[in-house]
Amino acid sequence: MNTQGPKTLEEQKSFVEDALTRAEEHRKRKEFKEGISLLVEALRYGIQKETIYFRLGNIYIDAGDLSRAEYAYKRALEVDPHHVNAMHNLAVVYKRQGKISLFVKTYKKAQRMELRRPRNVPLTPEDKTRLRRLGLRWMAAIFTGFIVLGAILYLILR
């Protein structure tokens, strides 16, 4: 990396993506300081801040620094109040800190958030085709049911 850092928006996005990937690799190898420094540097660009704070929280919780993990997850939630994983992990931090009432409150809130905003599951083209066919079959069945019902009503009321 050069000392000036990325200049264009595309370079910044690329840097942040790379930092997120590399920080996760450092976390898995328990190289927490390296992962933290990458993510802190990535925060300078203001791109994907909720994801960066979430990953920082993950590194801090793995490193056993619960107060910083709590701070990072709270910051992720300030940026994106609907970040379900950050809310869930914040609840885990509260539980590990012994803050049981906060744990229960936060965990329930995370569950409600998950119900209101389910995760986007990427569908393969085959899945999309299968779902379209299923939808068409249901529409055809409903349409046929209305026609049959209309025919029965016509025969009864004539």
For position 100, which CATH number holds? 1.25.40.10
Q: What is the pTM of this model?
A: 0.72
Q: What are phi and psi of 16, to 5 degrees?
A: -65, -45
Q: What is the pLDDT of residue 114?
A: 87
Buried b (16+ CB within 10 A) or exposed e, 41-65: bbbebebbbbbbbbbbbbbbbebeb
Domain count, the chain: 2
Q: What is the chain's pLDDT, residue by residue, as a tens digit (158 residues)?
A: 445 677 788 888 999 999 999 999 999 999 999 999 999 999 999 999 999 999 999 999 999 999 999 999 999 999 999 999 999 999 999 999 999 999 999 999 999 998 887 767 777 889 889 999 999 999 999 999 999 999 999 999 98
**Both 106 and 148 in a single domain?**
no
Q: Verify that 116 and 140 share a domain, yes or no.
A: no
Domain match, 97 and 145 both: no
The reply to whether 68 and 116 lie within a common domain is yes
Q: Are the C-beta atoms of residues 84 and 110 closer than 8 Å to each other? A: yes
Q: Is residue 112 part of a domain?
A: yes
Separation CA 138–CA 132 (nearest Å): 10
- Determine the Cα–Cα distance for residues 50 and 56; give it in Å rounded to an integer: 10
Q: How far apart are CA 125 and CA 23, in angstroms?
A: 32
**How confident is the model at residue 1, as a pLDDT?**
45
Residue 145 lies inside a defined structural domain of this protein: yes
User: Distance between CA atoms of 36 and 66, rounded to whole angstroms?
Assistant: 14
User: Is residue 38 a contact partner of residue 23, using CB atoms and an 8 Å limit?
Assistant: yes
Same domain assignment for residues 59 and 100 = yes
Give residue 153's domain range.
124-158
Spatial contact of 88 and 105, defined as CB atoms under 8 Å apart: no
Residue 2 inside a domain? The answer is no
- What residues contact 114, with CB distance under 8 A and at least 6 apart? 84
Same domain for 47 and 83: yes
Tokens of 44: 């300078």
At residue 8, the pLDDT reads: 87
What pLDDT is attached to residue 3? 54
What's the CA gap between 132 and 150, in Å, rounded? 27
Q: Decide if 3 is inside a domain.
A: no
Q: Verify that 115 and 154 share a domain, yes or no.
A: no
- 108 and 144, same domain (yes or no): no
